[in-house]
């Protein structure tokens, strides 16, 4: 047998390596470049596939935690507590973006107060707070502008999950069609003039409400956005800071004036609109204080004819600090700041548990009725759920459906979670939230039985009330618990950092035990 030479013409590889006699030097250079580029792309694809396999392998050990509950239940505040506990530097990085939210909260609250005052005609009594402050809403008067607009029409009472009782006292049923005797006194002329002057002086500040809302939402308009006034999507903090930088560049001052500005102003970027609102707040601080402490406003709040959310009262009580020229939001401010979540926002934390680092994917979802359909795709591979139910909301009704009591809505929503087949093995934690606000309401003498008739003649003290609500959530869970899953329940006020982080530690440990058990079964 003839042994072929090393570079035999019969060897196809050798033939391929030899330059073609018809190939020019430029063509050869181009071919070699193309081949090298193809090899680089191929190797990059191999690397990407290898990284994806590693990522998927690693993600199998991750924890997926969902925060569920109705709007304004405290989910986003709880997410901030997780962030503060496991990723505190990120809170500092986005601190500047919260200034716009807090300014919006203040301006929106002022707009609501002034609109409420305007809705009442001269039958209001300036000395309302000096009169007996009954907490019985059935004595409320109907604002003049509300009469004839259907507000006094009594809807059919709604059936509650609270032992099938009828929930009474929906917003419209709290307003009799005929005004009570409490409006027989006219507002004093001086008081009316004082409020008119405050309205005029605060009008430029209140006019900024729409601009701030547009800036925060990125121009997204949502029908029925409710008291919060604005919806934001995931990542709004970074976009707010980027937008501020972009607008600062557009309004770039001279080098000399910029140097002077850096010497006297903080280095964090701020949107010119936010700076303008800050200046107006500084100039208006006395007017805001005067409005907030006005006898008519205090009287309406005491008689529950003017209802403000906790974030409104928090910032108005601290308006001198918030309106200061060197204001920087504190952690407490950020926890109280209110902005409504649209869609689903994912937050990733590396949680160290007993020397093992586990990546947690926390999903904060929009809780309004129209957004709950977006929850389902996240159920499939969830490890744990924290369901947040605001127990202080026994006297409140859904923005989307004024006939539905918020406690009853929470129970119905909890029933759907407990009975969902995709979630039958998911670790479940219940936060009965806003206990601080519940205590405050009960301390004023507000009666639970007025809104939830099944409460009956039970004692109206805090311990009795919270255990009553807890019993109904436990009952829902028992009826929908084929796998005998344990329900972990906590009474919470998620604006209380120390107490909440202690509870988060307990929740973390219980979720981790379930995580280890499920991993052992795989």
Whether residue 349 is contained in a domain is answered as yes
Arithmetic mean of pLDDT, 179-193? 54
Whether 195 and 262 map to the same domain: the answer is yes
Q: Do 372 and 416 fall within a single domain?
A: yes
Query: Are 426 and 514 contained in the same domain?
Result: yes
If asked whether residues 195 and 263 sit together in one domain, one would say yes
Q: Which pLDDT score is estimated for 243?
A: 55
Residue ending a domain, among 298, 314, 336, is 336
What separation in angstroms does the CA of 136 have from each of 132, 445, 449, 456?
A: 11, 9, 12, 16
Residue 46 included in any domain: no
Average pLDDT over residues 322-346: 89
Is 433 annotated as contributing to ligand binding? yes
Say whether 340 counts as a known binding-site residue.
yes
Q: Is 154 annotated as a binding residue?
A: no
Structure-token pair, residue 235? 């990542």
- The reply to whether 508 sits in an annotated binding site is no
Considering the domain architecture, whether residues 312 and 351 belong to the same structural domain is answered as no
Q: Is 167 annotated as a binding residue?
A: no
CA-to-CA dists, residue 514 to 147, 249, 269, 320, 480, angstroms: 56, 51, 44, 48, 19
- 434 belongs to an annotated ligand binding site: yes
Q: Is 337 annotated as a binding residue?
A: yes
Of 307, 336, 365, the one marking the end of a domain is 336
- Average pLDDT of 267-296? 88
- Of the pLDDT bands very low, low, confident and very high (cuts 50, 70, 90), residue 370 is low
Helix (H, G, I), strand (E, B) or coil at 232: strand
Residue 338 annotated as binding?
yes
Could you please report the per-residue DSSP string of 417-486?
Answer: HHH-GGGTTSEEEEEEE-HHHHHHHHHTT--GGGTBGGGTT---SHHHHHHHHHHHHHHHHHHT-TT---
How many structural domains is the chain composed of?
2
Q: Are 157 and 167 in contact (CB under 8 A)?
A: yes
Same domain for 435 and 487, yes or no, is: yes
Identify whether 290 is part of a domain.
Answer: yes
Whether 359 has a binding-site annotation, put simply, is: no
> Does residue 422 form part of some domain?
yes
pLDDT band at 266 (very low <50, low <70, confident <90, very high): very low
Classify residue 124: in a domain, yes or no. yes
Here the tokens at position 457 are 């003649």
Q: Is 293 annotated as a binding residue?
A: no
How many other CB atoms sit within 10 Å of the CB of residue 47?
A: 10
Q: Same domain for 373 and 411?
A: yes
Residues 365 and 262 in one domain: no
Q: Are 325 and 392 members of one domain?
A: no
The domain boundary residue, chosen from 336, 352, 367: 336
Q: Are residues 308 and 200 part of one domain?
A: yes
Domain assignment of residue 3, yes or no: no
Rounded Cα–Cα distance for residues 498 and 198 (Å)? 39
CATH of the domain at 506: 3.40.50.300
At residue 85, the pLDDT reads 94
Asked whether residue 296 falls in the same domain as residue 415, the answer is no
Q: Which domain holds residue 130?
A: 95-141+179-336
In a domain, 449, yes or no: yes
Query: What digits encode the pLDDT tens for the residues 80-135?
Result: 999 999 999 988 888 888 999 999 999 999 999 999 998 874 444 444 444 444 44
Let me know whether 369 and 326 are in one domain.
no
pLDDT bin (cut points 50, 70, 90) of residue 375 is confident
Q: Which stretch of DSSP H or E encloses residue 74?
A: none
Whether 58 maps to a domain, the answer reads no
Per-residue confidence (pLDDT) for residue 31, from 0 to 100: 82
């Amino acid at each position: 047998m003839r042994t072929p030479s090393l570079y035999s013409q019969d060897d196809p590889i050798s033939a391929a390596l030899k330059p073609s006699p018809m190939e020019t030097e430029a063509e050869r250079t181009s071919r070699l470049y193309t081949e090298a580029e193809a090899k680089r792309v191929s190797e990059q694809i191999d690397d990407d596939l290898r990284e994806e396999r590693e990522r998927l392998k690693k993600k199998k050990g991750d924890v997926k935690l969902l925060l569920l509950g109705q709007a304004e239940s405290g989910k986003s505040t709880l997410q901030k507590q997780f962030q503060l506990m496991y990723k505190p530097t990120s809170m500092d990085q986005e601190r500047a973006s919260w200034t716009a939210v807090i300014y919006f909260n203040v301006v929106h609250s002022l707009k609501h107060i002034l609109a409420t005052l305007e809705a009442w005609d001269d039958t209001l009594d300036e000395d309302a707070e000096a009169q007996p402050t009954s907490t019985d809403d059935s004595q409320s008067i109907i604002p003049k502008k509300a009469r004839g607009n259907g507000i006094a029409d009594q809807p059919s009472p709604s059936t509650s999950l609270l032992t099938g009782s009828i929930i009474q006292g929906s917003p419209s049923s709290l307003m009799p069609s005929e005004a009570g005797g409490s409006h027989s006194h006219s507002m004093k002329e001086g008081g009316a003039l004082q409020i008119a002057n405050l309205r005029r002086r605060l009008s430029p500040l209140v006019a900024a409400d729409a601009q701030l809302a547009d800036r925060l939402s990125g121009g997204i308009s949502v029908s029925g956005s409710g008291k919060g006034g604005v919806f934001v999507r995931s990542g709004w903090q970074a976009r707010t800071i980027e937008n501020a930088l972009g607008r600062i560049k557009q309004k770039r001052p001279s080098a000399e004036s910029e140097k002077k500005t850096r010497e006297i102003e903080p280095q964090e970027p701020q949107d010119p609109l936010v700076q303008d609102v800050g200046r107006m707040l500084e100039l208006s601080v006395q007017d805001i204080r005067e409005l907030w402490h006005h006898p008519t406003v205090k009287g309406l709040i005491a008689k529950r004819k003017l209802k403000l959310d906790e974030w409104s009262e928090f910032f108005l009580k601290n308006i001198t600090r918030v309106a200061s020229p060197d204001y920087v939001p504190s952690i407490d401010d950020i926890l109280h700041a209110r902005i409504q979540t649209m869609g689903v926002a994912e937050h990733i934390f590396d949680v160290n548990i007993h020397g093992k680092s586990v990546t947690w994917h926390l999903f904060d979802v929009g809780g309004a009725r129209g957004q709950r359909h977006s929850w389902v795709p996240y159920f499939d591979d969830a490890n744990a759920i924290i369901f947040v139910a605001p127990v202080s909301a026994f006297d409140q009704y859904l923005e989307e459906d004024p006939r539905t009591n918020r406690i009853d809505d929470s129970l119905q929503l909890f029933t759907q979670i407990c009975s969902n087949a995709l979630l039958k093995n998911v670790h479940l934690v219940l936060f009965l939230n806003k206990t601080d606000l519940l205590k405050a309401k009960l301390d004023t003498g507000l009666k639970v039985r007025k809104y939830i008739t099944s409460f009956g003649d039970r004692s109206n003290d805090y311990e009795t009330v919270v255990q009553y609500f807890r019993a109904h959530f436990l009952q829902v869970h028992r009826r929908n618990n084929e796998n005998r899953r344990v329900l972990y329940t906590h009474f919470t006020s998620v604006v209380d950092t120390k107490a909440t982080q202690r509870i988060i530690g307990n929740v973390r440990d219980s979720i981790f035990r379930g995580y280890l058990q499920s991993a052992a079964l795989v």
